[in-house]
Amino acid sequence: MNSTTDNQLMEEVKEGKVERLAILFERHQVPLYNFFLRLTGNRGTSEDLVQDVFFRILKYRSTYRGESKFTIWMYQIARNAHIDHLRKRKEEIPLEEQWDEASSREPGPSESVEQLQDIVLLRQALAKLPLKKREVLVLSRFQNLKYKEIAELFDCHIGTVKAHVHRATKELGKIYFKLSGGMVS
């Protein structure tokens, strides 16, 4: 772990040392890419969105306020970028059909056929969740955000976030159950 915190780096970027953004990029590009991948199910789109997020960070760097964690601000931008993206390509391709590549992929050496099947089903199930539930679930399950931080990000009460996580997980379970033909191993 580098000693310079994200917030310090972002302050420097704000002050004009834009090259410091490179460190933030290296730290966050992979999690951010996976965040988008789980929301959109499309690798190309996810890369574009990561690029868009860092472009926006540069553009809006003067609006950065160091009061909350940098990652919260970053995910705020990420959510906006994603929403803008959705508006642009509204209903162009149904989300669950975007995982074409993944479903046809050969299993890797460490993955069994069953596991691959699970992956495909889970992705399909995630894609069927309403956006807000999907976001909350992905943020809490994969992006290492605390409920308190998600609450800050969504500008709502922490109880609301927990209720959303609860409902989203429940709903995901139901969808997954249905997709797997009603049989749970």
Partner 1 sequence: MKCKHIKVKFPDFLIGELEDISKKEIQEHVSTCFSCREELESLSEIWTKLGVLPQEQPSDSLRSRFYGMLDAYKQGLEQEKVKPRVHKLQGGWLTHWWPRQPAFQVTFSLALLLVGLTAGYLLNLNGKKVYEVASLRQEVQGMRQTLAISLLEQSSPTERLRGVGLSYRMEKPNKKIIQSLLDILDNDSNVNVRLAAVDALYLFHDNPTVKEGLIQSLSRQTSPLVQVSLIDLMVNMHERRAIESLKQLIQDEKFNPDVKNHAEQGIQQLTY
Chain residues that interact with partner 1, rule: CB under 8 A: 16, 18-19, 21-22, 25, 29-30, 33-34, 37-38, 43-44, 46-48, 50-52, 54-55, 58-63, 84, 88, 115, 118-119, 122-123, 140-142, 146-147, 159, 161-163, 165-166, 169-170, 172-173, 176, 184
The nearest distance, CB 144 to partner 1, in angstroms, is 10
CB of 7 to partner 1, least distance (A): 19
85 Cβ contact list (under 8 Å, min separation 6) = 40, 45, 48, 49, 52
Alpha carbon distance 119, 124 (integer Å)? 9
- 176, 125 Cβ separation under 8 angstroms: yes
Instruction: Indicate the residue among 59 and 132 with the shorter CB distance to partner 1.
Output: 59
Supply the minimum distance, in Å, between the C-beta of residue 67 and partner 1.
Answer: 14
What does R_g of the chain's alpha carbons equal in angstroms?
Answer: 18
Q: Which is nearer to partner 1, 12 or 52 (CB)?
A: 52
Q: How many CA atoms lie within 13 A of 72 on its CB side?
A: 17
